[in-house]
Amino acid sequence: MQTSSFLEKALFHDQNSATCDYFESRAGQLFAQPKERSYLELHVQRPSRKLPDGTVDSDRSFTIVQKYEADPDFHPKPSTNSWYREDGPSRTQIERWRISDVVELKHYAAESKHCYRVCFVDQRHSYSRLHLTATMFDALMTEFRIFPRFKEFILLFGSKRGDNEIALPQLRFRRNLARMDIPSEKRDSGFECAYGLKYVELNKRSSRNPWSIRQTAIYHQHAYGQQGKASTCLFVAPSDRTKLSIERFMRESSDILASNPFEIHLIVLDNLLANWRPYIIYLTEKIAEQSDKLLVASIDEKNPLQLLNIEERQVLKDFEDLLIDVMLILDSTRDTISSLLNNYQSYWYSSRHESREYETGENDLIIIALRERINEVSSSSRKIDTLHRKVQGSIKLLSSLLDLGNGNSLKELAEEARQENITMRKLTEKSTQDAAAVKVLTMITLIYLPATVVSVSELSHNQPPIPFRLLIVR
């Protein structure tokens, strides 16, 4: 039973109301302010056939180009905003434009709609606004016919204090939903997809923490029209290496529209996944440093445990939280690549059902490469899981050492208390002895003091009267 066009559009094309409201509430943090710098870069490939008179005839066959291959006047001087491929049967012109207002955007979007075009939207850093105003973004969505659900991935960016969304939205893949006016029987000839990826990159700012986790969003629309194929790619906050690789791909491909439309996704994945291995090596070395401190710690010394410093004790906890986030990122990345592989197989098999090579997939380099990337991400995820277990073991060892250290401290306190009790007992014995001596003196005084008083009194009767005197006998 065929589903209705309303359900198809509501679930796979339009943005739901809840996400739309949330997007509007965050628009002020996502996009540049009207007075701030706003621009996007548009790269367009035109497989042009250059004639000796300098004109361009895209309808000529490649044989005409080959006819003038040795003519020195065949190569025109490149303009300031374009470059040309110098090998192969055709001269591939790549034009680059920096668009800074809506009028330019509408003009270049209409002028390049039948070409292979790539847009780049940048941001200053991972926690800043995009270099694009909300008005420019709305025009970009309209002029390039981008499905509204791509806004789900734009929410990953913007001004924020930290990374509050570790796992990314699931990949969106639809067939020809960018143009709802295409008859349903022809919708298998094109597709539209969007997804986000997180990757690690050297930040070149801090030697203490040289790596940063960053994100990018990717949109791709590939369609067939009356004038042939057309493809539009949009990259939000791509890495510098990714941009260079895409530019090289466009330069060195004589006609990208004639090649497999999924090739550019493999180029992006190959660049974004490359840094995971050195990053894991860096984490392994840092965690080993903390583990070594624990292994050489002695609980018999006076200051046995160096990690009693609160900052160093927090390092292990920070590593544990970081590894949990990285595991979630890698799991999300693996899900995205797996979804891309499944949709590619479904799309391409239905488009090339007459070819047994595409049915088996044994010789399809796209499928082979995507499977290799899935295995690569799975391997990185297992390494991170192993590091996480090591950190947990170090935390347990730290707790045990702290418990033993506390036991030794209590033992030392008990010994000090015992010595104090001995001292107090000696003092008590001495006090007792002093009390006995005082008691003897008191008894002696009580015995001899009355007799001394009486003898003095008798002597006083035999002598003439004298003035009153007070006699104190000690």
Q: Model confidence over 324-374: pLDDT tens digits?
A: 999 999 999 999 999 999 999 988 777 654 444 444 455 689 999 999 999
101 torsion bin: left (phi>0), alpha (psi -120 to 50), beta (else):
beta
- pLDDT at res. 329: 95
CB-based burial of residue 429 (10 Å sphere; 0-12 exposed, 13-18 middle, 19+ buried)? exposed
Amino acid at 141: M
- pLDDT at res. 436: 74
| CB distance 327 to 384 below 8 Å | yes
Q: Where are the alpha helices (DSSP H) in 51-178?
A: 62-67, 102-111, 134-143, 151-154
β pairing state of 130-133 and 31-32: parallel
CB-based burial of residue 223 (10 Å sphere; 0-12 exposed, 13-18 middle, 19+ buried)? buried
- End-to-end, the C-alpha distance of the chain in Å comes to 128
What backbone phi and psi angles, to 5 degrees, belong to 227?
A: -100, 15
- pLDDT at res. 412: 65
- pLDDT at res. 87: 43
Whole-angstrom distance, CA of residue 410 vs CA of residue 138: 68
- pLDDT at res. 65: 29
CA geometry: angle 184, 188, 191, nearest 5 deg: 110
Note down pLDDT in tens along the chain; length 474 residues: 566 777 767 776 777 788 888 888 888 899 999 888 889 999 998 755 444 555 544 433 222 223 223 334 333 333 334 444 444 444 467 889 999 999 999 999 998 888 899 999 999 888 899 999 999 999 999 999 999 999 999 999 988 887 777 888 999 998 774 444 445 544 446 899 999 999 999 987 777 789 999 999 999 999 876 667 889 999 999 999 999 999 999 988 888 888 889 999 999 999 999 999 999 999 999 988 887 776 666 555 555 454 455 566 778 888 999 999 999 999 999 999 999 999 999 887 776 544 444 444 556 899 999 999 999 999 999 999 999 998 888 877 777 666 655 555 656 676 777 777 788 877 787 777 777 777 777 777 777 766 665 565 555 555 565 555 555 555
The tokens for 46 are: 């035109």
What backbone phi and psi angles, to 5 degrees, belong to 340?
A: -65, -40
User: Which SS3 state, helix, strand or coil, does residue 117 take?
Assistant: strand
Q: DSSP letter at 122?
A: -
